[in-house]
Amino acid sequence: MGSTMNLVSNQVKSYMENSSWIRKMFEHGIELKNKYGKNNVYDFSLGNPDLPPPEEVSTALKEIASAAGSPFALGYMPNAGYPETRATLANYLSKEQGVEVPASNVIATCGAAGAINTFFRAILEPGDEIICPAPYFVEYGFYAGNFGGKLVPVKSKPLTFELDVEALEAAFTEKTKAVVVNSPNNPTGQIYSREELEALAEVIRKHSEKTGKVIYLVSDEPYRFLNYDNVEIPSLFDIYDYTVIVGSFSKSLSLAGARIGYLAVNPAIEDPSELLNGIVMTNRILGYVNAPAVAQKILISCIDTQVDINIYRQRRDAMAKVLDDAGIEYSMPRGAFYFFPKSPVPDENKFIAALMEEKILAVPGRGFGYEGYFRLTFCIDEDTIKRSTEGFKRAVAKFA
């Protein structure tokens, strides 16, 4: 056979050629660490929580292992998850969202990513459009494309990254099926205000009435607990009826590899059974079958605990000082664990290259649909953050 034959589909080939800048920089970081040593590279590329899980997780794992019997066995459960896990999630979300959420409206998923994919598979027809504010988590585009959908990013206001509701409204078409918001936001750390979200909800209602179609609002909330300034994070269940909330415990319990998340459907929807049954079906047919059994059981006893947010707050403040000392313009993140500063030069790739010369790894803003900026994660050791100061200064000085 000729070597020019495609071994993967054209769609996946395109995905590979335009793959995530985050992963590209992370992989480049591995090369630098192998060459110069881990302690001599300042890797701000990947949002991989480095804090150990709370002690309660270790205790829960031991109890699960003890209860599983011998030989150790964990079988399938209903595709929506263990009933006791769904009940635990429903109780947790009812308190968090300030809305009584029945267990029947909650589905355990393989992380927030699994939740979004099962939801998109359930609602999308080929050609449907998903609107989202930019900068945005780049995987959204792939998730929509998996099922024939198209992501329509709309730039938020520069530097503050508040929602540009007028620009969002202009993006609606007959093909609009859903809007995705991520607050606290990756990559900016912005938390959208109630006023912004209510204005967006009004736009969605108006367009839904105009087209006679249901338009969903998806709230992606894996960073909800990382709220450093104790500002309001409004419940979208309280703002717009056709809301679906997704989240995970990758950050709050430092369980990124456990792949445990959830999808919750607003109880304000009069009869959500068709939607819920559709999502349960797609959870199965996409190959997830169900969320990991061990992770579901961990949640039952650990859902009300979390890692120490003060550690991340201290790192945020340390990162802010590094940027201040280097003269880099930024908006202070109110949540999540990222900064999205303005590049000292319009083409942020040039600045990214200058940082790499200093063995500092950051992700260009174009990887999140917003050129001229770059992303830094601060879920890394505080000492590493502080030691990067002189490297940032030297990189900025190259463009003075």
| DSSP string for residues in 117-185 | HHHHHHH--TT-EEEEEES--THHHHHHHTTT-EEEEEE--TTT----HHHHHHT--TTEEEEEEESS-
Whole-number pLDDT of residue 292: 95
What's residue 3's pLDDT? 56
Higher pLDDT, 34 or 355: 355
Tokens of 373: 């900026």
pLDDT at 2: 52
What CATH number does the domain located at 57-302 have? Answer: 3.40.640.10
Among the residue ranges 4-8, 200-204, 255-259, the one predicted with the least confidence is 4-8
Range(s) within the chain of domains with CATH label 3.40.640.10: 57-302
Q: Where in the chain is the domain with CATH 3.90.1150.10?
A: 10-53+308-397
For 22-42, the DSSP string reads HHHHHHHHHHHHHHH-GGG-E
What local confidence, expressed as pLDDT, does residue 33 receive?
A: 77
CATH number attached to the domain at 10-53+308-397: 3.90.1150.10
Q: Is the pLDDT of residue 71 over 70?
A: no
Pair of tokens at residue 120: 């998109």
Encode pLDDT of 11-60 as tens digits: 877 776 666 666 677 777 778 877 888 788 999 988 888 999 999 999 99
pLDDT exceeds 60 at position 311: yes
| H-only helix segments in the chain | 10-17, 21-36, 55-67, 83-97, 111-123, 139-145, 165-170, 194-211, 273-285, 293-302, 309-326, 348-357, 382-387, 389-397
Of 383 and 37, the one with more pLDDT? 383
- Taking the C-alpha atoms of residue 248 and residue 260, their distance in angstroms, rounded to an integer, is 6
Residue 218 near residue 181, CB atoms below 8 Å? yes
In this prediction, residues 325-354 reach a mean pLDDT of 97
The Cα 142–Cα 148 span in angstroms is: 10
Q: Is the pLDDT of residue 349 over 60?
A: yes
pLDDT at 68 exceeding the cut of 90: no
Residue 72 confidence (pLDDT): 64
Q: Per-residue pLDDT averaged across 334-347, rounded?
A: 97
